[in-house]
Amino acid sequence: MILKDKIELAKEVATNAAITAGKLAKDYFSKDKQIVEKGDDGDLVTIVDHLAEEIILKAISDHFPNDQIRSEETGWSGEEGDWLWLVDPLDGTNNYAIGLPVYGVSVTLIYKKEPVLGVIYDSHLGDIYVAQKDKGTTCNGKPLSIVNNPVKPIHKMTIGWIQGHQVQKDANAMSLKHKLDQECKRVLRLWAPSLLWCMLARGDLDGIVLFNSEGDDLYSGLLIAAEAGADVIDYRGAKFEGMNPEPYIIACHPDHKASLMELVEQALPSMEGRD
């Protein structure tokens, strides 16, 4: 199977699986979710995490049995090779567990450590976001672009904030978030990162600042934002490419890049935590 044909089939498989898993999550939303704690940081897992994951993993394995998969609940499976699937079957589990209808499904296909397909399903609203490398981003089949959005001063911006579970109360992270809170109109921490990336792609956010949060939902969101026209850079201003287990990222409208980089530099003048 040639590259473009595989990605086209992967798009169909991932889209259908994400929608099916997301609809299951919505069906369970008002039912007993069988919530248990996961780890020592108060993170949660529900029966839906597992049921949704089964749907997606089966779809991928049925069509692409030789591909490797990394999934939120079951971890790694398959043999290492050029192709890697990343699956978060219920992004926003903590929201879901407390009855907050902000949760989704994220599926990414990586080829030689570069994201080539990103699929995110907003499970409660029923919106499907799809991005292919160099082919743009769509929401429910309609193209998304942030390029023509109006440029704003910092004090009028709404910025998304994402940090990894392991970050907790890290001093650099707290300093940076405090700076954003001081200077921006609003800083939004959604606890469902994939949906923040979709908001950026729609133009409903002016930027996202991410502090050391890889996760199985990251690369679908990055691709969706980038293919909608966002600049995606590290804290030093270099284009963010490939994969990084400890990413520090700014993503925004190209005309907002300098302003957000300046805020990061002011909050982290020693450069510690900006590699």
Domain boundaries, the chain: 3-144, 154-267
- Tell me: pLDDT of 275 over 60: no
Predicted pLDDT at 229: 97
Average pLDDT, integer, range 187-206? 96
How much of the chain exceeds pLDDT 90, in percent? 82
SS3 content of the chain, % helix, strand, coil (to 5): 35, 30, 35
Q: Rounded mean pLDDT of 58-82?
A: 94
- In this predicted structure, the answer to whether residue 9 has a pLDDT above a threshold of 80 is yes
Tell me what the mean pLDDT of segment 29-51 comes to: 77
Instruction: Calculate mean pLDDT across residues 163-174.
Output: 93
Cα distance between residue 264 and residue 273, in whole Å: 10
Is 65 exposed, middle or buried (CB count within 10 Å of its CB: 0-12, 13-18, 19+)?
A: exposed
Query: CA 99, CA 34: separation in Å to the nearest integer?
Result: 13
Q: How far is the first Cα of the chain from the last one, in angstroms, to the nearest whole number? A: 38
The 3-class secondary structure across 146-199, one letter per residue, is CCCCCCCCHHHCEEEEEECCCCCCCHHHHHHHHHHHHHCCEEECCCCHHHHHHH
| pTM (predicted TM-score) | 0.94
Report whether pLDDT(272) > 60: no
Percent of the residues in the chain that have a pLDDT greater than 70, as a whole number: 96
Neighbours of 5 (CB within 10 A): 9
- Residue 57: count other Cβ atoms within 10 Å of its Cβ: 20
Name which of 179, 202, 54 is nearest 120 in CA terms: 202
- Return the pLDDT at 151: 84
Q: Is pLDDT above 80 for 93?
A: yes
pLDDT score of 265 more than 90: yes
Q: Is the pLDDT of residue 225 over 90?
A: yes
pLDDT bracket for residue 2 (50, 70, 90):
confident
- Total residues found in the chain within this entry: 275
Q: Give me the pLDDT at residue 148, please.
A: 81
Going by pLDDT thresholds of 50, 70 and 90, the confidence category of residue 41 is: low
Rounded distance between C-alpha atoms, residue 132 and residue 90, angstroms:
22
Q: What pLDDT does 40 receive?
A: 59
CATH node for 3-144: 3.30.540.10
Is 36 or 159 the better-scoring residue by pLDDT? 159
Confidence of residue 273 (pLDDT cuts 50, 70, 90): very low
Q: Which CATH architecture has domain 154-267?
A: 3-Layer(aba) Sandwich (3.40)
Q: What is the mean pLDDT of residues 145-171?
A: 92
Mean pLDDT, the chain, whole residue set = 93
Q: Does 1 score more than 70 pLDDT?
A: no
Is the pLDDT at 238 greater than 50, yes or no?
yes
According to DSSP, residue 256 is labeled: G
